[in-house]
Amino acid sequence: MQISEEHLSNNWKRFTLTNDRGMSVSALNFGGIITEVLVPDKNGVIENVVLGYERAEDYKDDPNFFGAIIGRIAGRIDGSNFSLKGKEYPLEANDGANHIHGGSNGFHTKVWKAHSFQTDSTVGVAFKYDSPDLEEGYPGNLYVTVTYQLNNRNQLTIDYQAHSDLDTPVALTNHTYFNLSGNLKRTIHNHLVSMNSSTYAELNEDLIPTGNRNTVTGTPFDFRKMRPLQEGICSEYKQNLLAKSGYDHYFLFDQKQEDAVVVQDLESGRIMRIHTDQPGMVMYTSNNLTNDHQLTGRQSAKYLGVCFETQGTPASLHHSGFPSIVLKANDPYSQQTSFSFETM
């Protein structure tokens, strides 16, 4: 296993973690952005399975949040405000009347302190950022560490650690777009997905949770048995149509299990297994991705990637029935998600 560091402009660095089986993960200290993940297909051909820009500078003002750490809160906050302990906290309205992904100067725009390391079984890089009180409107000084580690089982593990000196909502995630076809050869229509979820958060026309937890039974949202993403993308089901024909919804996991989500691409033979201790995730099928970005290997296109944003949901700030994302002062925030790659 090995680690390499490349110095870019603007004090940016690119770290590349490589294991003994040829898998590698590259990430920037800017936004903690994962720019490339190279894994083998069923014939041993090693290819990239995530979306990233051809030019590093294009990450600076990225409307798609490719590969980035999202915080303090991932997702949309209704009306760009929330109440905590009787006090109202206004936030930037950067998605119509609503707030999304921590604001326009959220964690995805920060140059994080970073250091690489190696253990007996992993290579990794730790990113640290101290978010001051009321940054982007959020209360409390929040001290965050996000660690990426790669082992020889072709498993990438992301650990999120944080603490605050005041009560504050926190819902961190990573916004990597996956495409298991390899080098973005095909869209994700034929990706097969299964997940341990029997309910999801219903959305309104602004993609804000209504507060209802809908059952997946009898709908294109039932992934308890493996099904292709195209069934929702091509569906006339109202919730799919609201999301611009696809998915941009929070799925609540029924219980913790070894593989919360399994993704397969039959043609390449790649399988990705996601394990997490988060209560759910947003699955987003890049419904808003336009065709005017130069990515590594090709031009961007709608449905070229799928995000699995394991996280708590900001719906809990306005609605009961969802796990709280409020972090108590001086309590530890500790969450983990791993992505394991294998072939059929």
Contact in structure between 291 and 50 (CB atoms under 8 Å):
no
Selecting among 47, 135, 202, 309, the annotated active-site residue is 309
Query: What's the distance, CA 236 to chain centroid?
Result: 26
Contact in structure between 50 and 341 (CB atoms under 8 Å):
no
Q: Which residues pair with 70 in a beta bridge?
A: 173
H/E element, 270: strand 270-276
Among 335, 185, 180, 142, residue whose Cα is nearest residue 273: 180
Contacts by 77-80, CB closer than 8 A, 24 or more apart: 77/314, 77/317, 78/208, 78/209, 78/317, 78/318
175 included as an active-site residue: yes
Q: Report which DSSP code applies to 176.
A: P
Selecting among 175, 191, 249, 293, the annotated active-site residue is 175
Judged by DSSP in three states, 9 sits in coil
231 included as an active-site residue: no
Cβ count within 10 A of residue 204:
12
Active site residues: 175, 309
